[in-house]
Amino acid sequence: MGDFEVRDRREPHGPRRPAREREAYLRLLDQEVSYAEACRIGGITTWTGKRWRNGRNASGRNKAAPPANAVVPPR
């Protein structure tokens, strides 16, 4: 997994996107690690992992978001 380390302080990150955590989580999924185990190793909640894996629908003020590893069709 390289030099990735789980953040010591597990508090909200504010406007900063947890790009390193997301990258590590998706890399673990590509290595066929279970979804729950990838969340634990990557230092994220299973709720966040599920949202990154499946995307989310628009609701209220939140816009819809595609899955993190969505394939964009060629033009």
pLDDT digits (tens, 9 = 90+) for 22-53: 888 888 888 989 989 998 888 888 988 888 88
Residue 7 inside a domain? The answer is: no
The closest alpha carbon to 46, from 55, 56, 36, 54, belongs to: 36
Domain containing 66 equals 18-75
Q: Name 44's Cβ contacts closer than 8 Å, sequence gap at least 6.
A: 18, 21, 25, 52
Long-range Cβ pairs for the range 10-19 (8 Å, 24+): 10/43, 18/44
3-7, 38-42, 70-74: which range is least confident on average?
70-74
Write down the pLDDT at residue 42: 82
User: Residue 7 above 70 pLDDT?
Assistant: no
Nearest CA-CA partner of 10 in 56, 45, 61, 35: 45
What is the arithmetic mean of pLDDT over 5-17? 60
- What's the number of domains the chain is made of? 1
